A and B are shown apart, each in its own frame.
Chain A
Amino acid sequence: MRDRDLTLIIDLIDGRLPPEEEKAALAVIAADPELRSAYRVQAAIAGELSATPSPSMTPSEREVLHAELKAQLHLDESPVVVPSPHSRWNRWLAPLAGLAVGAAVIVGAVVVLPGTLSGDADEAIVAAPATTTTSAASTQMADTTVAAFEAAPEAPVEAGEDEQSDVVAGGTYNEASGIPFVADVDLSELADSYGAGSHLFDESAGKRSDGEFPVSDALVGACVDRVSSEATSSTVVPLLTTVYEGVPSMIVAVSPPAGDDYLVVYSLEACEEIATTRP
């Protein structure tokens, strides 16, 4: 299952889609046995859990719970990451030699089919509108056999909207959006890697940095915000920052409502598109 399918199902169940998009999403899901099965599983479990009595907690108790969760997840610890030869990050680098860390990002956010580079910058990048409603959707989907479930590494589907910076060994990264810096990226090769279908993002990879990036996190964050705000219907996933043909840049994956996914390179200084694999 592609990550955008995952997003579609999660957003549908979470009640995040406007009525028109919800209707379209249901049609897409209904037409695909795998998606039907996945949706049914997700909706059933979400429904079951939401119907399960949860503890009555006071706000202070809730804060304690959240603090405990953070502590368990070591979220308050320094995000300093020291490169390790045994990390999965490095493992990904091996088969893609020249692509270096870009291979790590390949992972799963979206599957971007390789295309040709073009300088066209007219096509607006848009992101699906989001609401904050949480609700368990009904399970009124066609009955299908529940597929075997396979555990797989998790994959971020979108970047977070809130940006915050942390210093990591060798450079910086934008933690909230999980954008690593990759010193040298060949866009076509990166697109090919996506098209080849690697998939699943290793969260730790997003917290790795490779070398010094000459642009502040604030600038990266501003460009992420701008690209996201200009988006209206496509899903935009910031993948990495890099120096692309001498220009400090950010590469994002775009999943349009129709057609193939593609990559776009934005110069960070002006936050303007300078290259793309858009077909």
Chain B
Amino acid sequence: MNAVELRPDIESALSGLSEDFRAAVVLVDLEGMSLEDAADTLDVPIGTVKSRVFRARKLLAKELGNLAPGSGHLREEP
């Protein structure tokens, strides 16, 4: 399998997620998989995928923290 070259900060943040959360957010956001397909792949209800993706993104946002404006990242408002 080809190596995945993610930005170090994103890769680090992803590695901090639980397997369940990481699998969901990688499939949906990185792989561009639909929620339904991700649910099929992970063999869980779609609602569970939604929940995992939602919480994974929250954790990623927390981990990525204050990000540079213009990068598309979040940044904390004053």
Which of B29, B47, B50 lies at the interface centre, i.e. has the most chain A CB atoms within 10 A of its CB? B47
Residues of A close to B23: CB separation below 8 A:
69, 72-73
Other-chain contact of B42, A10, A50, A64, A69 (Cβ < 8 Å): A69
Q: Is the CB of B77 within 8 A of A143?
A: yes
Would you call the interface of chain B mostly helix, strand, loop, or mixed? helix
Residues of B close to A274: CB separation below 8 A:
none
Determine the distance from Cα of A161 to Cα of B45 in the docked complex, in whole angstroms: 8
Which of B28, B31, B44, B57 lies at the interface centre, i.e. has the most chain A CB atoms within 10 A of its CB? B57
- Write the chain A residue with the least CB distance to B63: A149
Q: Is the CB of B45 within 8 A of A152?
A: no
Which of A44, A75, A154, A177 lies at the interface centre, i.e. has the most chain B CB atoms within 10 A of its CB? A154
- Residues A6 and B51 in contact in the complex (CB < 8 Å), given A57-B1, A149-B62: yes
- Residues A10 and B72 in contact in the complex (CB < 8 Å), given A45-B29, A49-B10, A145-B77: no
- Residues A48 and B73 in contact in the complex (CB < 8 Å), given A7-B50, A154-B52: yes
Determine the distance from Cα of A159 to Cα of B36 in the docked complex, in whole angstroms: 11
- Write the chain B residue with the least CB distance to A40: B74
Q: Is the CB of B46 within 8 A of A160?
A: yes
Q: Is the CB of B19 within 8 A of A72?
A: yes
- Give the interface residue-count category, chain B: 35 or more
Residues of A close to B75: CB separation below 8 A:
146
- Give the interface residue-count category, chain A: 35 or more
Residues of B close to A150: CB separation below 8 A:
58
Which of A72, A134, A146 lies at the interface centre, i.e. has the most chain B CB atoms within 10 A of its CB? A134
- Asked if A14 CB lies within 8 Å of chain B CBs, one says yes
Other-chain contact of B2, A56, A72, A162, A237 (Cβ < 8 Å): A56
Q: Is the CB of A149 within 8 A of B47?
A: no
- Asked if A114 CB lies within 8 Å of chain B CBs, one says no
Q: Is the CB of B44 within 8 A of A44?
A: no
Q: Is the CB of B34 within 8 A of A156?
A: no
Interface string of A147-170 (1 = CB under 8 A from B): 011111011111111100000000
Q: Is the CB of A154 within 8 A of B48?
A: yes
Q: Is the CB of A203 within 8 A of B4?
A: no
Residues of A close to B61: CB separation below 8 A:
41, 44-45, 146, 149
Q: Is the CB of A44 within 8 A of B31?
A: no
- Residues A49 and B29 in contact in the complex (CB < 8 Å), given A73-B42, A155-B51, A176-B45: yes
- Write the chain A residue with the least CB distance to B2: A55
Residues of B close to A45: CB separation below 8 A:
29, 57, 60-61, 64, 74
6 further A-B pairs in the complex, CB-CB below 8 A; given A155-B51, A159-B47 = A41-B74, A54-B4, A57-B1, A73-B43, A156-B50, A178-B47
Question: Which A residues fall within an 8 A CB radius of B?
Answer: 3, 6-7, 9-11, 14, 16, 38, 40-42, 44-57, 61, 64-66, 69-70, 72-73, 75, 109, 130, 132-134, 136, 143-146, 148-152, 154-162, 176-178, 201, 203, 237
